[in-house]
Structure 1
Amino acid sequence: MTPKRLLLVEDDKAIAELVQFHFEREGYVVTSTANGEEALILVEEVRPDLMVLDWMIEGISGIELCRRLRRKPSTANLPIIMLTARGEEDDRLRGLETGADDYVTKPFSPKELVVRAAAVLRRVRPALAAETLDYAGLEMDMGAHRVRRDGKAINLGPTEYRLLRHFLEHPGRVFSRQQLLETVWPHSEEIELRTVDVHIRRLRMALGEHGGGDLVRTVRSAGYALDSEGVA
């Protein structure tokens, strides 16, 4: 399975290094920053599966960063664990009300943080912990490398399979052509953007082979998403 990506936003260097060490030991790919403004840029570049966010950081605060991420469609469902020295009940509630999925108070056990991160991912993004991905009648068995729609087998080429897997891991989320190119193609710097459109067409044709609505939504000037809304 594709390694999970963590964006760590923590301005205490010692804590950041400790957290990064423990997550990398569990197979995560970790990107770290101490600055809230930089985190807003990195979240679009890295497209993390999870964010560990300190309350008090440079630039904008962790609370404000969380609030902004929840307002953006591309990051509205990003799992976020708030990491802070604040332990009062009102502060915890404020963090959760802002949109954090969990709240860990310093000092903490890095091992416990990793376990809680896994629990958040299972709850918020079950696809990351699954061997089978399901969405709107689509079923991808990653162990057997098989895809079915409404019980009927779908034959996909390797690239279309990778595209569909990426979409199934992030249903409803819009990805630009550049984002898809960088995620799905191993040597994206050698490939033109229009190649994405070609494989999206092939994926659509394969998924519609046995009938049914078009599950791949084109978002004008934005990109593509796997979205069952509006499909008959």
Structure 2
Amino acid sequence: MTTTSFATASFFDGRPTTEIAQALLGTTLLYRSNHGLIGGLIVETEAYLGTHDTAAHAYKGRRSKFTEPLYRAAGTLYIYQLRANLLFDIVTQPLNVPEGVLIRAIEPTYALDQMLTNRGKSGVQVTNGPGKLAQALGIHDQTYNLVSIDDSPFEISLKDVRHPRQIKAVPRVGVNPDAASGQLPLRFIVAGNPYISDSRKRDWQSDHGWQA
């Protein structure tokens, strides 16, 4: 793991994708936008395991202009559009090993007012899902798709960190549940955090699931 204050491309190389997905929980995703620094604590991630994962864009080795970022080096950004939403994914394995982690939700800690403006929503609806997260950060296009995180305005702070009390592995959202990989517990959440995309109020914890 990198010893710097930010997760450089090397952070996303040399470990299983599932391990990286969990290591990202509690780190801070930051975007240096036109309105200044904006972002928050990562509370939900989803691992996609490449050519043998029926839910992955690279299943069976599919390679196209759309999926090309997945085949690039670890740390490459994969910003793609799904229906009307943009989603933020980071490649996690070496060249031509098409695996990645989707950042699904954050707990806002930087520039909440700007996120509220960007989203036009309040409360957990600001960032409790991958499309909402992109809107809240102000990601409007795929300009940084195929770009290494080292060369982008995005950073993952390893200094602004909270430690989850419990990480839960649960089934992914929005994939075919009947396919071979459909029910695999490859979505990782900070248990008790209200910003998780499918959380229920009765499961929310007053400390949002963070250790003291």
Please give the TM-score of this superposition, normalised by the length of structure 2.
0.26
Which structure carries more helix by proportion? Answer: 1
Report the structure number with the largest CA radius of gyration: 1
Please give the TM-score of this superposition, normalised by the length of structure 1.
0.25
